[in-house]
Structure 1
Amino acid sequence: MKKTSKRILRITLMLTYIIIIGILLFLVSSIFSFLNTGADRSKMLHTEVKKIEQYLPKITWKNDGNEGREISKQKISAIKNDYIDAWYVKHIAYKTNTRVGIEDYFTESARKNIYNIIDYNKKNNITIESTTLEHNLDIEFFSEDGQLLVLKDNDAVEYKKVFKDNVLVLETTEVNTYRYVLLLEDGFWRIRHMVKESSEKYKNKLIKTPIKFTNIKGINYYPQETPWNMYGEEFNINIIKNDFRIIKKAGLNSIRIFVPYEDFGKANVNYKKIEKLKKVLDTALELDIKVVVTLFDFYGNYDVLDWTLNHRHAEKIVNTFKDHKAVLAWDVKNEPNLDFDSRGKVNVTAWLDFMISLIKSIDKNHPVTIGWSNVESATILKDKVDVISFHYYENIAEFEKEYLTLKEKIENKPIILQEFGVSSYGGMWRPFASSDEKQANYYKEIQKVLTKNEIPFMSWTLYDFDNVPKEVLGRLPWRTNPQKKFGFISNTGAKKLSFKYISSE
């Protein structure tokens, strides 16, 4: 018995000793690890700059050599990353009036001026929301010891909004040229000195791109089984091709499809999604169907610091399909005016304005439009777009009058009724509000107006749906149930009475 007790005591002491040694080793290794993480900028900087996800302005390098020693591609990449991160951190500082991160990207002498601006703005309740959209970089000098360089940034495009007491007092876009001195410290390039050499107002000269096809008789399209998730795991080009045949046989010649921003990978566009979109466009071309491609579906931020990510997203998609013969037009955004209250009209329209410029700079063959949710908003940015598009879900008796009034305000540009329709739902949440017969009569009457005034149209939509995602209209059944019944074909595959009037022919 005594021997057993001694063994238990001995084992207990040994286990205690091992545990204590383990704890000590863990503490020592943690301290050692902490002392060796000083160069990890993502941990030093509270904002954790993530270049791929947060800030991606367009960068162009002048490739003409430089004074001093030769620079490797790896060093050029490091210079670019630290330089652009410095811009991003400064944007954050002026927006929040905080100093976080400034010392990581600016030397002591350079950050004094930034701190003075922050302190002044904070004292006077001023905030600045800004971004840069384009940088044209040229390394003019790189020292022999590799510790100093002179960087020129030509014609940097900067957008900013200045708020005083939370009221917008200035909105401006400038084209500025800077010269910077950067020092290599602790393995990172920090801005030592900066001089603004020139500044002028940004002049956006848009080239008009007329639409090549105006006899539009179309429809907004989603597959019946995968609405609002057209490019997901259940993507089936054979189903889509069969739907396109139905559309073509019905006397229609065009469709409108949607590219969801987040689903396509945001700034880092998913190549698999691109391949699926290509299959859709190829199929449309095969059946001689024109396609209006609506970008940025399910996007609603518009924050200035989000702009560069949005631009890289649109740049990839537009550049990929700018020569595709099925594309009829680019629709920047679906019903952006619905975000005016929550995001601010100034924010939304500025975002749209710059997006139009970007798309037109890439694709000079296809027109650009915006899918406004109503007639009243359709004149916004009318001088920037090539085609005026609006949606109409109001009283059909007022449609012709409202269209003709809009037409008087729009000179020399085609107007498209890009969405219209009525639900056949007449269930518990809308008893007697509608029916298949009422829906058919609606289309019969509106087609008369469309034919009379030669109005290009795209109805909503081919199919009834079993499910409407909560992201579209929320969860309230009195909103989602009517949305399920806008189709010309029921969820059983039968053509509804309205199908007779799907086209004006």
Structure 2
Amino acid sequence: MSNPSKNILRGVIVLTYIIIMAVVIYGLAAIFTYLNTGADRSTMLHTEIKQVEHYLPKVVWAPLNNVGRPMDTQTLKSIEDDYLDAWYVKHVAFKSNTTTGIDDYYTESARENLYNIITINSENENSIDATTLFHNITLEFFSEDGQLVVLTDKDVVEYKRLFKSGKYLTEINEISTYKITLLLEDGFWRIRHLVREKSETHNPKVKNLPINSSELKGINYYPQDSPWDMYGDKFDASIIDADFKVINEAGLNSIRIFVPYEDFGKSSVTPDKLEKLKNVLDLAHKNRLKVLVTLFDFYGDYSVLDWSLTQRHAESVINYIKNHQALLGWDIKNEPNLDFESRGKELVLAWLDKMVAHVKAEDPNHPVTIGWSNVESATLLKDKLDFISFHYYKDLDQLEPSFNSLKATTNQPVIVTEFGLSSYNGFWNPFGNSDEDQAKYHKDIQTIFKTNGIPYMSWTLYDFTEVPKEVVGGLPWRKNAQKHFGFIDKNGLKKASFKFISSKE
């Protein structure tokens, strides 16, 4: 073998030896660290639960006045986290009929009852999809050795959906009181006893608020250069201010805007987004416009275990702007009935029902509605709402009878919060409507509105050059049609329809 070949072989052997030794040393160091500091908790959990991302029911602690050892803040936080994680694990177990994670949050004696329930449900093909939304906890006792606590959890708001062989049976709304004992084992606060002391049906009544809708003349608003991304990098207060001036001078007095759920940070709402939202309301007030704020745009999960996260989101948005002078009211969700087929009508309606009550609890001073996509769905939950709103894109000859038929079913005001006609007639729809057709449409619908005293909000101020596929899908004939609903074209010129943007006296 030549010297160069021998040198290469030696080099490979030496390098391999160095790599093996490095791996061995790293492994020994990791083991030593593990044994001396304790295992990281997330690596111990079978389910690797991350409570912040999955489960955030509202928790209120009573002032600490417990028997036994004084409680410190850090320990109390650990107790709360483990207690809520135990609820979450139980919800997952009863939904899936598996025992994963139970050992981490329940003592050996407490597991037996849970295992029995899971076995029975599994054998009978039953499952329970559940969550809790509110806990009101009192620390009753903390042992001197710091190993045991006793809690009372009052007014626990629980929601359950029962299934048989995968088919939905019914829902249960409860408010309960529990007595809980937790033991500290291996760094975990595990539930030893969880006993329900009382339970009753929970159907909170909400007070309906009046809304001055008789003179409402409005429009749905997005800036032309950032539709469906109003609070992103292109946010420009001067552009929005100028647009609001145009809207006001056109004879309109209100706008409808949208708060995208994920873009705003889901359960951990981004302060920068909230400040931009408030800025929009400031500019609306400056231009004498009222604002209907539509929550949960682009949200479509509705899963029961997600409900606590959506409630935390709503709280953050509502409490930031609920005292603003420009706020007209809250639209819980844009066109949620379009999710009935994919998510299940019962589930969507249950989420809406709980969210209506939650929004009213957070802000009892502003009216609440749901922006249904059609008049047929507008009777749903109508007694829970302060005013009924629906969108109308059908033939105008059916608008008046449809409105009057709906109005006959409710004492609540009824508002058409979306309507319009696309002026697109290009390659993907050569027989579409022209600018003149669009103008005639708005002239005719304004006559109907005025004759019948119908409050309205049109869609929308501008034509757009780009429409995200999440809005109408990727089909070019749908995307191009959506780009041409505006009263002002992509070059900033008023279209023929602008003359009929409002029903001026």
Band the TM-score falls in, shorter-chain normalisation? over 0.9
Cα gap change, 1:26/1:440 in structure 2, threshold over 3 Å: closer, same or farther? same
The match for 1:59 is 59
The match for 1:253 is 253
Give the counterpart letter for 1:434 in structure 2: N
Kindly indicate whether the alpha-carbon contact (under 8 Å) linking 1:149 and 1:181 is maintained by their aligned counterparts in 2: yes
The match for 1:315 is 315
C-alpha separation between the residues in 2 aligned to 1:384 and 1:126? 31
Secondary structure of 2:239's match?
Answer: helix
Kindly indicate whether the alpha-carbon contact (under 8 Å) linking 1:54 and 1:305 is maintained by their aligned counterparts in 2: yes
The match for 1:460 is 459
The alpha carbon displacement at 1:200 in A equals 0.3
C-alpha separation between the residues in 2 aligned to 1:472 and 1:2? 70
Give the counterpart letter for 2:207 in structure 1: I
Give the counterpart letter for 1:153 in structure 2: D
The match for 1:154 is 154
Residues 223-251 of structure 1: per-residue CA shift (max 9 Å, x gap): 00000000001100100000000000000
The answer on 1:345 being equivalent to 2:342 is no
The match for 1:364 is 364
Residues 446-502 of structure 1: per-residue CA shift (max 9 Å, x gap): 111100011100000000000100111111101110000000000010000000000
Kindly indicate whether the alpha-carbon contact (under 8 Å) linking 1:213 and 1:328 is maintained by their aligned counterparts in 2: no
Give the counterpart letter for 1:399 in structure 2: L
The alpha carbon displacement at 1:14 in A equals 4.3
Q: What is the total number of aligned residue pairs between the two structures?
A: 504
The match for 1:114 is 114
The alpha carbon displacement at 1:166 in A equals 1.4
The alpha carbon displacement at 1:8 in A equals 6.8
The match for 2:214 is 214
The match for 1:305 is 305
Residues 55-106 of structure 1: per-residue CA shift (max 9 Å, x gap): 0000000104101110011111110000000000110001111111010000
Residues 375-395 of structure 1: per-residue CA shift (max 9 Å, x gap): 000000000000100000001
The alpha carbon displacement at 1:209 in A equals 1.2
C-alpha separation between the residues in 1 aligned to 2:182 and 2:37? 23
Normalization by structure 2: what TM-score?
Answer: 0.97
Kindly indicate whether the alpha-carbon contact (under 8 Å) linking 2:392 and 2:418 is maintained by their aligned counterparts in 1: yes
The match for 2:417 is 418
Kindly indicate whether the alpha-carbon contact (under 8 Å) linking 1:390 and 1:416 is maintained by their aligned counterparts in 2: yes
The alpha carbon displacement at 1:4 in A equals 8.0
Give the counterpart letter for 2:456 in structure 1: F
- Tell me the C-alpha RMSD between the 2 structures: 1.8
The match for 1:428 is 427
Cα gap change, 1:353/1:8 in structure 2, threshold over 3 Å: closer, same or farther? closer
The alpha carbon displacement at 1:32 in A equals 4.7
Stretch moving more, 254-263 or 43-52: 43-52
The alpha carbon displacement at 1:33 in A equals 5.9
C-alpha separation between the residues in 2 aligned to 1:366 and 1:248? 22
Residues 239-270 of structure 1: per-residue CA shift (max 9 Å, x gap): 00000000000000000000000000000000
C-alpha separation between the residues in 2 aligned to 1:16 and 1:225? 58
Secondary structure of 1:379's match?
Answer: coil
Secondary structure of 1:301's match?
Answer: coil
The match for 2:330 is 330
The match for 1:494 is 493
Give the counterpart letter for 2:21 in structure 1: I
The alpha carbon displacement at 1:433 in A equals 2.1
Secondary structure of 2:60's match?
Answer: strand
Cα gap change, 1:72/1:499 in structure 2, threshold over 3 Å: closer, same or farther? same
Give the counterpart letter for 1:483 in structure 2: Q
C-alpha separation between the residues in 1 aligned to 2:332 and 2:37? 44
Normalization by structure 1: what TM-score?
Answer: 0.97
The match for 2:236 is 236
Residues 186-236 of structure 1: per-residue CA shift (max 9 Å, x gap): 111000111110000003110111114531100000000000000001100
The match for 1:89 is 89
Give the counterpart letter for 2:218 in structure 1: G
Question: How is 1:477-488 mapped onto 2 (pairs within 5 angstroms)?
Answer: 477-488=476-487
C-alpha separation between the residues in 2 aligned to 1:374 and 1:2? 85
C-alpha separation between the residues in 1 aligned to 2:246 and 2:84? 50
Kindly indicate whether the alpha-carbon contact (under 8 Å) linking 1:38 and 1:44 is maintained by their aligned counterparts in 2: no
Give the counterpart letter for 1:504 in structure 2: S
The match for 2:475 is 476
Residues 100-119 of structure 1: per-residue CA shift (max 9 Å, x gap): 10100000000111011111
The match for 1:204 is 204
Kindly indicate whether the alpha-carbon contact (under 8 Å) linking 1:82 and 1:190 is maintained by their aligned counterparts in 2: yes
Residues 291-340 of structure 1: per-residue CA shift (max 9 Å, x gap): 00000000011000000000000011111111111000100000000000
The match for 1:386 is 386
Structure 1, unmatched stretches of 5+, are none
Cα gap change, 1:98/1:251 in structure 2, threshold over 3 Å: closer, same or farther? same
Give the counterpart letter for 2:95 in structure 1: K
Structure 2, unmatched stretches of 5+, are none
The match for 1:279 is 279
The match for 1:504 is 503
C-alpha separation between the residues in 1 aligned to 2:4 and 2:217? 93
Kindly indicate whether the alpha-carbon contact (under 8 Å) linking 2:467 and 2:483 is maintained by their aligned counterparts in 1: yes
Residues 260-283 of structure 1: per-residue CA shift (max 9 Å, x gap): 000000000000000000100001
Cα gap change, 1:17/1:415 in structure 2, threshold over 3 Å: closer, same or farther? closer
The match for 2:296 is 296
Secondary structure of 1:398's match?
Answer: helix
The match for 1:139 is 139
C-alpha separation between the residues in 2 aligned to 1:462 and 1:16? 68
Secondary structure of 1:383's match?
Answer: helix
Cα gap change, 1:16/1:466 in structure 2, threshold over 3 Å: closer, same or farther? closer
Question: How is 1:432-443 mapped onto 2 (pairs within 5 angstroms)?
Answer: 432-443=431-442
Give the counterpart letter for 1:480 in structure 2: K
Kindly indicate whether the alpha-carbon contact (under 8 Å) linking 2:214 and 2:453 is maintained by their aligned counterparts in 1: no
Secondary structure of 1:138's match?
Answer: strand
